[in-house]
Amino acid sequence: MQSAPPPDTRSVDADVASRREPEPFAYDQLRYPGLPFDQTHPGRLATLAVLHGMEPAPPARCRVLELGCGDGGNLIPLAYQYPDSAFVGIDLSARAIETGRKTVADLALHNIELRPLDIAALTPDDGRFDYIIAHGVYSWVPEPVREKILSVFRANLAPQGIAFVSYNCYPGSYMRDLSRAIMLFHVRRNADPKERVQQARLLLQMLAEASNEDIYGYVLKSQHERVRKTQDTVLYHDDLDEGAKAFFLYQVVEAAAQHGLQYLCDSYTPILTGPLMELQREASPLVKFLEQIPEQEWLAREQYWDFARGRMFRDMLLCQKEIELRRPVAASRIANLQVCAELMPETADLDPQASGPAEFKTRAGKRITTDHRLSKAALIHLGAIWPRTIGVAELATAALARLGPASETVQQYLDREIEGLSAILFRSFCAGVVEIEAFPLPLAATVSERPQASLLARKQAQSGSLLTNLRHDSVLVEDAVTLRLISLLDGTRTLDQLVCDLAAAGAQVVRQNGASPDAASAAPIISRENVMGNVQRLAKLALLIA
The answer to which of 4-13, 331-340, 522-531 has the lowest mean pLDDT is 4-13
Confidence of residue 218 (pLDDT cuts 50, 70, 90): very high
- CA 177 to chain CA mean position, Å: 25
pLDDT of residue 311: 92
Does pLDDT of 8 surpass 50?
A: no
- Residue 461: what are its φ and ψ, rounded to 5°? -65, -25
- Percent of the chain topping pLDDT 90: 68
Confidence of residue 6 (pLDDT cuts 50, 70, 90): very low
Does pLDDT of 262 surpass 70?
A: yes
Q: How far is CA 409 from CA 233, 393, 412, in A?
A: 58, 18, 5
Cis peptide preceding 442, ω within 30 of 0: no
Does pLDDT of 523 surpass 80?
A: no
Provide mean pLDDT across the span 234-257.
Answer: 95
Query: How many helices, marked H, and strands, marked E, lie in the chain?
Result: 21, 15
Does pLDDT of 13 surpass 70?
A: no
pLDDT of residue 399: 95
At 179, which amino acid appears?
Answer: S
Confidence of residue 503 (pLDDT cuts 50, 70, 90): confident
Mind listing the pLDDT tens digit for each residue in 276-306?
555 454 456 777 777 778 777 888 888 988 8
pLDDT of residue 512: 55
Cα–Cα distance measured from residue 297 to residue 27, given in angstroms and rounded to the nearest whole number: 40
Cis peptide preceding 387, ω within 30 of 0: yes
Instruction: Let me know if 15 is exposed, middle or buried by CB neighbors in 10 A (0-12, 13-18, 19+).
Output: exposed
Confidence of residue 4 (pLDDT cuts 50, 70, 90): very low
Confidence of residue 18 (pLDDT cuts 50, 70, 90): very low
Confidence of residue 508 (pLDDT cuts 50, 70, 90): low
Provide mean pLDDT across the span 27-44.
Answer: 85
Highest mean pLDDT among 188-197, 286-295, 439-448: 188-197
pLDDT of residue 283: 52
Cα–Cα distance measured from residue 274 to residue 109, given in angstroms and rounded to the nearest whole number: 45
Provide mean pLDDT across the span 328-348.
Answer: 89
Confidence of residue 12 (pLDDT cuts 50, 70, 90): very low
Confidence of residue 443 (pLDDT cuts 50, 70, 90): confident
- CA 248 to chain CA mean position, Å: 22
The answer to which of 69-83, 159-173, 476-490, 507-521 has the lowest mean pLDDT is 507-521
pLDDT of residue 384: 92
* Residue 131 near residue 62, CB atoms below 8 Å: yes
Confidence of residue 41 (pLDDT cuts 50, 70, 90): very high
pLDDT of residue 517: 54
Q: How far is CA 20 from CA 91, 119, 134, in A?
A: 12, 10, 20
* Burial 177-192, CB ≥16 within 10 A → b, else e: bebbeebbebbeeeee
- Provide the sign of the torsion angle of the four alpha carbons 350, 351, 355, 358, taken in this order: positive
Contacts of 351 (CB under 8 A, 6+ apart): none
Provide mean pLDDT across the span 348-370.
Answer: 88
Residue in 390, 385, 382, 489 with CA at minimum distance from that of residue 437? 390
Residue 407: other Cβ atoms inside 10 A: 21
* Residue 1 near residue 130, CB atoms below 8 Å: no
Instruction: Let me know if 205 is exposed, middle or buried by CB neighbors in 10 A (0-12, 13-18, 19+).
Output: middle
Contacts of 276 (CB under 8 A, 6+ apart): 270, 427, 430, 431
Does pLDDT of 16 surpass 50?
A: no
Cα–Cα distance measured from residue 465 to residue 478, given in angstroms and rounded to the nearest whole number: 5
516 or 488, greater pLDDT: 488
Across all residues in the chain, what is the average pLDDT?
A: 88
Mind listing the pLDDT tens digit for each residue in 83-126?
999 999 999 999 999 999 999 999 999 999 999 999 999 999 99
At 455, which amino acid appears?
Answer: L
DSSP 66: E
- Residue 168: what are its φ and ψ, rounded to 5°? -70, 135
* Residue 42 near residue 61, CB atoms below 8 Å: no
Cα–Cα distance measured from residue 447 to residue 540, given in angstroms and rounded to the nearest whole number: 10
- Residue 479: what are its φ and ψ, rounded to 5°? -75, 125
Does pLDDT of 178 surpass 80?
A: yes
Q: Can you point out the beta strands (E) in 407-491?
A: 435-437, 466-468, 474-476
Provide mean pLDDT across the span 448-477.
Answer: 93
Does pLDDT of 25 surpass 80?
A: no
Q: How far is CA 424 from CA 238, 265, 327, 368, 430, in A?
A: 39, 21, 19, 9, 10
- CA 109 to chain CA mean position, Å: 22
Cα–Cα distance measured from residue 300 to residue 505, given in angstroms and rounded to the nearest whole number: 59
Confidence of residue 26 (pLDDT cuts 50, 70, 90): low
Does pLDDT of 386 surpass 70?
A: yes
Provide mean pLDDT across the span 407-436.
Answer: 89
* Residue 132 near residue 12, CB atoms below 8 Å: no
Does pLDDT of 252 surpass 90?
A: yes
Confidence of residue 243 (pLDDT cuts 50, 70, 90): very high
Provide mean pLDDT across the span 497-502.
Answer: 92
